[in-house]
Chain A
Amino acid sequence: MLEAAFTKKLRDFTMDLSFQVRDGEILALMGNNGSGKSTTLNIIAGLLVPDTGRVRLNGTLLSDHADGLSLPMEDRRIGYVFQNAAAFPHLSVSENIAYGLRARGLPRTEISERVGQLMDMMHLGDLADVRAANLSGGQKQRTALARAIAIRPALLMMDEPFSSLDVESTIGVKELTRTIVTKMQIPCIVVTHRVADSQEIGDRVIVLCSGKKEWEGSPREIPDTCTVCHCHG
Chain B
Amino acid sequence: MRIAGNIPEKYRRILSYSAAGLLILLVTLYLALPVVALFFRTTPELFLSSLSDPLVISALWLSMTTSVISLVIVLLVGTPFAYVHARTTYPGKVVVDTLIDLPLVLPPAVAGFALLVLYGRMGLIGRYFNMMGISIAFTTLAVIMAQIFVASPFYLRQAKSLFEQFDQSYEYTARTLGASRTRTFLTITLPLTAGGLISGAVMTFGRALGEFGATIMFAGNLPGVTQTMPLAVYVGMESNFNLGLTISILLVIISFIIMITVRLVTRKEVPHA
Binding site for B on A (CB under 8 A): 45-47, 72-74, 76, 78-80, 82-84, 86, 88-90, 99-100, 103-104, 133, 144, 147-148, 151
Contact of B177 among A83, A90, A151 (CB under 8 A): A151
Instruction: Give the residue among B172, B177, B178, B179 with the most A Cβ atoms within 10 A.
Output: B177
Q: Which of B107-115, B126-134, B265-273 touches A?
A: B265-273
Q: Assess A80 versus B192: contact at CB under 8 Å? Given A86-B170, A89-B270, A133-B271.
A: no
Are B178 and A100 interface neighbours, CB within 8 A? yes
Q: B174 interface residue, CB < 8 Å from A?
A: yes
Question: What are the 7 A-B residue pairs with the smallest beta carbon separation, nearest first?
Answer: A100-B177, A82-B169, A103-B179, A103-B178, A86-B169, A86-B173, A80-B176
CB distance from B78 to the nearest CB of A (A): 22
Contact B273 A84 (CB under 8 A): yes
Name the one of B169, B176, B192 contacting A78, with C-beta atoms under 8 angstroms.
B176
Q: Quick check: A88 and B188 within 8 Å, CB to CB?
A: yes
Tell me whether B183 and A103 are in contact (CB under 8 A). yes
Q: How distant is the Cα of A141 from the Cα of B188 in the complex, in angstroms?
A: 18
Q: In chain B between 124 and 181, which residues have their CB closer than 8 angstroms to a CB of chain A?
A: 167, 169-170, 172-180
B54 within 8 A of A: no
- Shortest C-beta distance, B272 to chain A (Å), equals 6
| Shortest distance from the beta carbon of B267 to any chain A beta carbon, whole Å | 15
Contact flag A80-B172 (CB < 8 Å), given A86-B167, A88-B188: yes
The smallest beta-carbon distance between B180 and chain A, in angstroms, is 6
Q: Which residues of the partner chain A approach B183 to less than 8 Å between Cβ atoms?
A: 103
Task: List, in ascending order, chain A residues with CB within 8 A of B187's CB.
Answer: 99
Residues of B within 8 A of A151 (CB): 177-178
How far apart are the CA atoms of A220 and B191 in the complex, in Å? Answer: 46
Q: How far is the CA of A42 from the CA of B272 in the complex (A)?
A: 22
Task: Judge whether A45 and B177 touch: CB under 8 Å.
Answer: no
| Cβ contacts A to B, 21 pairs, < 8 Å | A45-B172, A46-B176, A73-B172, A74-B177, A78-B176, A82-B169, A82-B172, A84-B169, A84-B273, A86-B169, A86-B172, A88-B170, A88-B192, A89-B270, A100-B178, A103-B179, A133-B270, A133-B271, A147-B173, A148-B177, A151-B177
Bound complex: CA of A89 vs CA of B188, how far in Å?
9
Instruction: List chain B residues, Cβ under 8 A from A80.
Output: 172-173, 176
CB distance from B175 to the nearest CB of A (A): 5
Q: In the complex the two chains form, is B176's CB within 8 Å of A45's CB?
A: yes
Q: Which A residue's beta carbon lies closest to that of B272?
A: A89
- Find chain B residues with CB under 8 A from A104 CB: 178
Given A89-B270, A99-B177: 14 more A-B contacts, CB < 8 Å: A45-B176, A73-B176, A84-B169, A84-B273, A86-B169, A86-B173, A88-B188, A90-B191, A99-B179, A99-B187, A100-B177, A103-B180, A133-B270, A147-B177
* Pair A90/B192 contact, Cβ less than 8 Å: yes
Q: Which of A45, A73, A144, A151 has the most chain B CB within a 10 Å cutoff?
A: A73
CA distance A76 to B178 in the complex (A): 8
Contact B174 A99 (CB under 8 A): yes
Q: Which residues of A contact B172 (CB under 8 A)?
A: 45, 47, 73, 80, 82, 86
Q: In whole angstroms, what is the CA distance A72 to B178 when docked?
A: 10
Q: Which residue of B lies closest to A82 (CB)?
A: B169
Report yes or no: A90 in contact with B270, Cβ–Cβ below 8 A.
yes
Instruction: List CB contacts (< 8 Å) of B234-273 with chain A.
Output: 270-273
Q: A133 CA to B272 CA in the complex, in Å?
A: 7
A193 vs chain B, min Cβ distance (A): 18
B-chain residues with CB within 8 Å of residue A144 when the two chains form the complex: 173
> Using an 8 Å CB-CB cutoff, how does the interface string of B172-214 with A read, 1 for contact, 0 for none?
1111111110010001100110000000000000000000000
A229 to chain B, nearest CB (A): 27
Q: Output the least CB separation between A187 and chain B (Å).
A: 16
Query: Which A residues are in CB contact (< 8 Å) with B188?
Result: 88
Q: How far is the CA of A199 from the CA of B111 in the complex (A)?
A: 66
Query: Closest Cβ of chain B: how far from A184's Cβ, in Å?
Result: 16
Nearest A-chain residue to B172, judged by Cβ: A47
Q: In the complex, what distance in Å separates the CA atom of A102 from the CA atom of B201?
A: 30
Q: How far is the CB of B46 from chain A (nearest CB, A)?
A: 49
- CB-based contact A74/B270 at 8 Å: no
